[in-house]
Amino acid sequence: MLPEVGSRKLNTVTTSDLQHLVDRWQAEGQSASTIRNSIKPLQAIYRRARSRDGITVNPTHDLELPAARAKEVEIVAPEVAAQLLDAAPAADRALWATALYAGLRYGELRALRWGAVDLAGGTIRVQESWDPKEGAIAPKTRTSRRTTPLPGLLRDHLLDHKLNADDDAADALVFGIDGRPFQAAVVYRRADKTWKDAGLGRMRLHQARHTYASFMIAAGVNAKALSTFMGHSSIKVTFDLYGHLMPGTEAEAASMLDRFLAVQISHTRELVRQGSPPGSEL
């Protein structure tokens, strides 16, 4: 790290600078734990500098770091997600639905405004995040600013939520209270009580985001598109986090190839039988 940023003043280093560094380390094959351990001292330096030396921005705060172990990615099955959502407090149901079916980060959920939600067009534009001290801020990286698809199931929840909202102006927070974003601790306390009463387990917003990724993979969304929808800094981050969920064993690959070849060969033979040369239908 020293050759890249060691000679620079603290207030000149940006999140983008550090993210490029992290991405390069990943590309070089460094393990997730090694990368995290390399960044930790810098995180401590910036925390101290912000509290004592007047540094206003901490570029380590929103870094997209690789998961240390795949087992840290906790997901729930679609039917379990539906049960948790149905049993969630009515006031928070749209929030949980947005985390589960759009995959927004915690800060992005807190900063989401109605003007960024296109119910008719079926998209959500991620334009802001929320910092506990600074309030609304730009998304964590360039790729975090994105447009995500809004499935019909989520649209219904957001439409109901908007009809019951005290303020649905374009600049109003979708999940705000008196102009301030929701607090996770409050949302978790309410949800845990209703889920316990219903005899269910519990879930957290970061798990809902991971679950969204698993749904998209199971639905057949390709890795590049998923990386874009998740706002990852690179597709490698997506593979590091969710590669174990993607189809890719030797048996699966062989089966997929067999199916493809069988269809194509059968189609070509049928054309020949009918007297049409292959490619004549193009």
pLDDT, averaged in runs of 10, over the chain (282 residues): 66 84 78 81 83 77 71 82 96 97 95 97 95 84 92 96 93 92 94 96 94 92 93 87 74 74 86 69 50
Q: d(Cα 214, Cα 74) in Å, to the nearest integer?
A: 10
Q: Examine the domain organization and report whether 160 and 270 are in the same domain.
A: no
Q: Does residue 72 belong to any structural domain of this protein?
A: no
Same domain, 92 and 210: yes
Residues 103 and 128 placed together within one structural domain of the fold: yes
Q: What is the distance between the terminal CA atoms of the chain, rounded to a whole angstrom? A: 55
- Residue 160 has a CB neighbour count (10 Å cut-off) of 14
Do 41 and 174 lie in one domain? The reply is no
According to DSSP, residue 116 is labeled G
Tell me, yes or no, whether 44 and 183 share the same domain: no
Same domain, 104 and 168: yes
pLDDT for residue 70 = 46
Residue 73: inside a domain? no
pLDDT value for 250 = 61
92 and 231, same domain (yes or no)? yes
How many separate domains does the chain show?
3
Domain hosting 181: range is: 78-244
Q: Say if residue 138 is in the same domain as residue 61.
A: no
Question: Is residue 83 included in any domain, yes or no?
Answer: yes
User: Residue 21: its pLDDT value, please?
Assistant: 85
**Looking at residue 231, what is its pLDDT?**
93
Distance CA 61, CA 15 (A): 8
Task: Indicate whether 59 and 32 sit together in one domain.
Answer: yes
Instruction: Answer yes or no: is 214 within a domain.
Output: yes
Residues 148 and 216 grouped into a single domain = yes
pLDDT at 157: 97
User: What is the per-residue pLDDT for 145?
Assistant: 94
Residue 231 belongs to some domain of the structure: yes
Nearest to 75 by CA among 169, 209, 188: 209
Beta strand spans in 152-211 (E): 176-177, 180-181
> Could you give the CA distance from residue 201 to residue 80 in angstroms, rounded to a whole number?
9
pLDDT of the residue at 272? 81
For position 225, what pLDDT does the model report?
94
Strand partners, 113: 173
Residue that terminates a domain, selected from 38, 66, 94: 66
